[in-house]
Amino acid sequence: MDSRAYLLLTLLCYAVGALHALLFAVLRRSVLTTVSLTATLLGFAFHTAALSQRWTEAGHFPAVGLHDGASFLAWAIVLVFLLVYVTTRVDAAGLFAYPFAFALVFVANLTPDSERASPVLRSLYLPLHLFLAVFGYGALFAAFTMGVLYLFQERELLSRSPRQFYYLIPSLERSDTIGGRSVVGGFGFLTLAIVTGFLWNHSLHGRYWTGDPKEWAALVAWLIYVAILAARWRGGWGGRRAAWLAIAGFAVVVFTFAWATLVPAVAVAAR
């Protein structure tokens, strides 16, 4: 099978997870948990097969252009979600991960492959840089999810008349802790990704900073995470501010990523 066939199977599997998230939000009760988890594990296997197949087909690490970029980001988000679920059993985390992964793979299925086979893409910095970046993004997505869950639960508790989400969403402390760990992990990966990005820049252009917008965006995201870490380091409890910052930080990251995939690295490299 070629990578496209694998990717279509992946989409079908992730659709189950997206349906689960939809039912979860609408019915406000956890249904299909085992089914969607099994489907997601199966989908993840197909997804991995699709990526490795695509690597062979393209001849370079497949994360340039919208098709490969979306697919790769979805893969990292699912992987991080599975890690979070296995370690914490918080199934509300899937509320965002499932639809997000589904949407990204959906986009990947609709878009054509980018057929650029520039020799710069053969550089070993690229897969290293991209792996670090994508795990950073996955972890930051988890932090974003926990931030949203924190704010939801806080609103429920402050309202003094908890509705359904009160029962489904983990405690404030739990969201805060998991979010904090995700930020630490994500921050580490993002830092390394930025460093390797600089090194790649240097090997191509002889300078570390090219002034590219995505460099600025990455820097802003990095500073936001420094702020979250500082807030946590002082109080031990991130609270509402950390939750909002995690959401804002992820928004910047999405912007960075969209920029990097829509205006491919090749364009910069060719300058």
Q: Exactly one of 34, 115, 158, 211 binds other proteins (CB under 8 A); which one? A: 158
CA distance 154 to 93: 16
User: In the complex with other proteins, which residue's Cβ is closer, 202 or 240?
Assistant: 240
Min. distance of Cβ 96 from other proteins in angstroms?
20
- Asked if residue 234 binds other proteins (CB under 8 A), the reply is yes
- Asked if residue 26 binds other proteins (CB under 8 A), the reply is no
User: In the complex with other proteins, which residue's Cβ is closer, 106 or 237?
Assistant: 237
CA distance 65 to 92: 31
- Asked if residue 167 binds other proteins (CB under 8 A), the reply is yes
Min. distance of Cβ 173 from other proteins in angstroms?
3
- Asked if residue 166 binds other proteins (CB under 8 A), the reply is yes
| Count of residues of this chain found to bind other proteins when the rule CB under 8 A is applied | 22
- Length of the chain counted residue by residue: 271
Min. distance of Cβ 147 from other proteins in angstroms?
15
Please name the residue that has the structure tokens 């002082």: 234
CA 21 remoteness from chain centre: 17
- Asked if residue 163 binds other proteins (CB under 8 A), the reply is yes
Closest CA to 145 of 78, 234, 57: 78
CA distance 15 to 99: 8
User: In the complex with other proteins, which residue's Cβ is closer, 170 or 185?
Assistant: 170
Min. distance of Cβ 56 from other proteins in angstroms?
46
Task: List, as one string, the DSSP characters of 187-232.
Answer: HHHHHHHHHHHHHHHHHHHS-S----HHHHHHHHHHHHHHHHHHHH
Any idea what DSSP says for residue 124? T
Min. distance of Cβ 170 from other proteins in angstroms?
8
CA 214 → CA 120, 205, 260, 263, distances in Å? 18, 16, 6, 9
User: In the complex with other proteins, which residue's Cβ is closer, 167 or 209?
Assistant: 167
Interface residues with other proteins (CB under 8 A) are: 153, 157-158, 160-163, 166-167, 170-174, 177, 234-237, 239-241
